[in-house]
A and B are shown apart, each in its own frame.
Chain A
Amino acid sequence: MKRIFSFMLLMVLASALVFAGGKQEEPAAPAAAPVAQPVSDGPQAGGVLVFARSGDSVGLDPGRETDGESFYGSTQIFDTLVEFAPGTTEVQPALAETWDVSADGLEFTFHLRHGVMFHDGTPFNAAAVKFSFDRQFVETHPYFELGPWQYWGYMDMSSIIDRIEVVDDYTVKFYLQKVEAPFLANLAMDFASIVSPTAVEQYGIEFKNHPVGTGPFKFVSWTKDDSIVFEANKDYWGEGPYLDRLIIRVIPDATARYLALKNGEVDVIDFPSAEDLELMAADPNIDLIQQAGLNVGYIAMNNDKPPFDKKLVRQAMNYAIDRQAIIDAVYGSAGQVAMNPLPPTMWSYNNKITPYPFDPDMARQLLAQAGLPDGFSTDLWAMPVARPYNPNARRIAEIVQANLADIGVTAEIVSYDWGTYLDKVDAGEHMMGMLGWTGDNGDPDNFLFVLLSEAAADAGGNIAFWRNAQFNDLIVQAKETFDQPTRTRLYEQSQVIFHEEAPWVPLAHSVVTVPVRTSVQDFVIYPTGKRVFQRVWLEQ
């Protein structure tokens, strides 16, 4: 017994040590700004920011990875030739200061920024640009084997770029195989990051664990499944960075992330759970930063299957379904009603369109006009899994089913496991099918062509199997024009046709919310899903 008591005493002492140590552990921010400046003076330098997200990066070589978590890490380290302006999908100069396009649209000449260094001291130049791209598609390139370069494939780059030529140290020329306007937006994506050739040569396959770029932060260390540490690149060519260090931490559970934020252990969190949002909104130490995501969830009506070959029937569906009720029941504050196939943060989004109101009477009238006064029977396919654009397809299907029953349409809900589901909707087995899309490059083409073109009706992607020559001409024309105002006009027109022809019932765009501590300043959500900390600063 005595031994047990002495042991317990030891335990108590040990825990006392643990508690007493609490103060010593308080983070010591390295090299804080020597003089505290008033807030109105703009960004303050210094401090360590901790960003908590739900999963770890796979690798930090942006060419090799496809998942958002990996890009969260690599975006801090690397720059691209062109970049998205903060909070928009508009493309602006980055490592390339200017560019010219040849008259036939097949030659892009980029004029590069002078005096930029990679973090390892390698000078940034045209050869580095050529290296970063060539390794992803030139099969004889010494580092091509380090692939697979999956995003290059996703964006179909091999059928866009023919070859890349170094004109001089600061001029690089891209020869294209076809005129493809969204090409420029592709270059702002993470996979098109410019990497240090010296570092790739040094590390080989291990470059994904030792990334070296020209970006605002340098890579310091990575503890698998726990945290990645970055430090400020003091020689950064652009604005910022203001933080001394940036730490990206993994906290898998959404509520645990919120509690860590509330506790001040972290400064910014990703993917808050919808149930915690109200508490966060009420917390004086937390700001909620919100923006509609670059996504759309929709119900496609299979135009190959009657009665959905009739425009009036498709319009009737749009009148019959109560989209606001779906938002309220399923998305909460994390969603907004969709009226266009494009998300509202995308340039050329047509906000002059009047959305179909919820009007069951009108729906019945249209059905009667279409020769179906007694309604009809259909299936309604619902995904078995939560997706970023649709958190609960089954629940939505039940609401839609009830809405349709009101106008005399009997809908039977159908679901398969996720893999089979995708195969079967691509094959057009459904009459009405739910699906959605998350954009890649912030270009309207990435939604309209991928989801609604005639080509996509044949090759997969257009699960409404809607073939409209007029619409198709507009989006193909827009793809082959570099003039931004012209493209905008063409895409706006195509949305008018989409609205009138109603191949889908667009449901919702999910809203992205990033909760931050109130000390975090100038954090901007990028529609493409990047988390950029270049201009972020901490109020001290």
Chain B
Amino acid sequence: MVRYILQRLLLLIPTLLGVLTIVFFMTALSPGDPARIMLGERANEQQLEQLREELGLNRPVGEQYLIYLEHSLRLDFGRSIKTRRPVMEEIQELFPATVELALVAMFLATFLGILVGVLSAVRKNTLLDYTAMVGALAGVSMPVFWLGLVLIMIFSVGLGWFPTGGRMEVRLFFQPITRFFILDGIILWFREGNPAYLISAARHIVLPAIALATIPLAIIARTTRSSMLETMRQDYVKTARAAGIPERRVIFRYALKNALLPVITVVGIQFGLLLAGAILTETIFAWPGIGRWIYSAISARDYPAIQAGVIVVSTVFVFINMIVDILYSVINPKIRLQ
């Protein structure tokens, strides 16, 4: 087992190197002088030269690449052009918001997705099954941007249940403690006996989490359903039934456990993709996280920020995939043995 994990960790090195290389050439080879693009109408030659010097743009591409690799290994992605702050500092500040949103969304998607998938499989070809699967198809096809606005129209503007965006009611003048606002809310509830912060944080996260969870939820539901259907046809399920074990126990104890294998893969992949979905969700819901930060970095052609953002997101993606692979081998010993 340890050897397997070590093997997987070793494989990370070429993967991440590949990511670093692609990200570098994506920005280095895009057309136009980045300094000129960033400074716009006002630029004079002296300012351009200064910025080129600062970004190392006046060196040959090969040299730029080596310097960049060296800095990346030290997790030093330089300063953002726009804010002039170290890029890693900004990422550290904003990442918790995205993690909080992604965790809630992923919890929603996994929990509801598996539930819907199992129910559809068990009640195959009933109205419930059809409704769920049509819903899932709609969920996969809906653009997050549009869905977000529709959710705001209905639940914020129409019904007034939830705020349109942000992480916390600004008029509460909240000061973050851990940057995980729900956690902060719980801490403040205990410390000050005032649940207002927790309630506000919870109300703010509902709509963005739903918007972000929709696509993974639909995919997880569909995967669970088909995997469940396949497992239910297996001999051991028939045997269990024949032995008189109650149906509920057969489904949840015996069938679901095996059916979950492909679902775990999908959950892992979706969790990684969630970070991409977060770009749109965070923009619509004014959620101050890493997704929105990357979005504005791209609009401003803030190359150091784009590079660091893409690298961080891909690294998280690669790590989640690795964890899924390891989990897989824990659940299914066959994989370890191969």
Chain B associates with chain A: yes
Compute how far the CA of A262 lies from the CA of B157 in the bound complex, rounded to whole angstroms. 7
Contact bitstring B195-221, A, C-beta under 8 A = 1, else 0 = 110011011001000000000000000
Specify the chain B residue showing the minimal Cβ separation from A20: B199
Tell me whether B170 and A4 are in contact (CB under 8 A).
Answer: no
Tell me whether B156 and A263 are in contact (CB under 8 A).
Answer: yes
Contact bitstring B43-82, A, C-beta under 8 A = 1, else 0 = 1100100100000000000000000000000000000001
Specify the chain B residue showing the minimal Cβ separation from A417: B32
Task: Give the secondary structure class of A's interface.
Answer: mixed
Complex partner residue of A256 from B41, B84, B149, B170, CB under 8 angstroms: B149
Which residues of chain A from 46 to 71 have any CB-CB distance to chain B below 8 Å in the complex? Answer: 48, 50, 55, 58-59, 67
With A50-B171, A256-B152, A256-B164: A422-B200 Cβ-Cβ less than 8 Å = no
18 contacts across the A-B interface (CB closer than 8 A): A17-B199, A18-B206, A22-B161, A22-B199, A25-B200, A48-B171, A58-B82, A154-B42, A249-B286, A251-B165, A251-B166, A252-B286, A256-B164, A265-B164, A419-B35, A422-B36, A422-B41, A436-B41
In the A-B complex, the 7 residue pairs with the smallest Cβ-Cβ separation, listed nearest first, are A21-B199, A419-B36, A27-B171, A225-B288, A419-B32, A417-B32, A419-B37
With A18-B203, A221-B173: A260-B32 Cβ-Cβ less than 8 Å = no
Task: Give the secondary structure class of B's interface.
Answer: helix
Compute how far the CA of A146 lies from the CA of B173 in the bound complex, rounded to whole angstroms. 30
Contact bitstring A1-39, B, C-beta under 8 A = 1, else 0 = 100100000000011011101101101110000000000
Total number of residue pairs linking A and B with CB closer than 8 Å = 145
With A22-B203, A251-B286: A259-B153 Cβ-Cβ less than 8 Å = yes
Contacts of A262 in B (CB 8 A): 157
Contacts of B165 in A (CB 8 A): 251, 256, 260
B225 contacts A by Cβ under 8 Å:
no
Most chain A C-beta atoms within 10 Å of own C-beta, residue among B44, B165, B172:
B165
A420 contacts B by Cβ under 8 Å:
yes
With A252-B283, A256-B284: A223-B176 Cβ-Cβ less than 8 Å = yes
Contacts of A17 in B (CB 8 A): 199, 202
Compute how far the CA of A59 lies from the CA of B79 in the bound complex, rounded to whole angstroms. 14
A381 contacts B by Cβ under 8 Å:
no
Tell me whether B170 and A221 are in contact (CB under 8 A).
Answer: no
Most chain B C-beta atoms within 10 Å of own C-beta, residue among A253, A255, A265:
A253
Contacts of A203 in B (CB 8 A): none
Contacts of A260 in B (CB 8 A): 163-165, 286
Compute how far the CA of A436 lies from the CA of B41 in the bound complex, rounded to whole angstroms. 8
Contact bitstring A240-264, B, C-beta under 8 A = 1, else 0 = 0000000101111101100110110
Write the nearest CB–CB distance from B99 to chain A, whole angstroms. 15
Tell me whether B33 and A419 are in contact (CB under 8 A).
Answer: yes
A137 contacts B by Cβ under 8 Å:
no
Compute how far the CA of A532 lies from the CA of B43 in the bound complex, rounded to whole angstroms. 28
Contacts of B284 in A (CB 8 A): 253, 256
Compute how far the CA of A250 lies from the CA of B153 in the bound complex, rounded to whole angstroms. 19
A178 contacts B by Cβ under 8 Å:
no
Tell me whether A226 and B163 are in contact (CB under 8 A).
Answer: no
Given contact pairs A18-B206, A58-B82, A229-B173, a sample of 11 additional A-B residue pairs in the complex whose CB atoms are under 8 Å apart: A18-B202, A58-B83, A226-B170, A249-B170, A251-B286, A252-B292, A262-B157, A418-B32, A418-B40, A419-B32, A436-B41
Which residues of chain A from 220 to 247 have any CB-CB distance to chain B below 8 Å in the complex? Answer: 220-221, 223-227, 229, 247
Contacts of B170 in A (CB 8 A): 50, 226-227, 229, 247, 249
Compute how far the CA of A1 lies from the CA of B288 in the bound complex, rounded to whole angstroms. 38
With A18-B203, A25-B203, A223-B176: A418-B286 Cβ-Cβ less than 8 Å = no
Contacts of A229 in B (CB 8 A): 170, 173
Compute how far the CA of A324 lies from the CA of B248 in the bound complex, rounded to whole angstroms. 72
Tell me whether B288 and A250 are in contact (CB under 8 A).
Answer: yes
A423 contacts B by Cβ under 8 Å:
yes
B230 contacts A by Cβ under 8 Å:
no
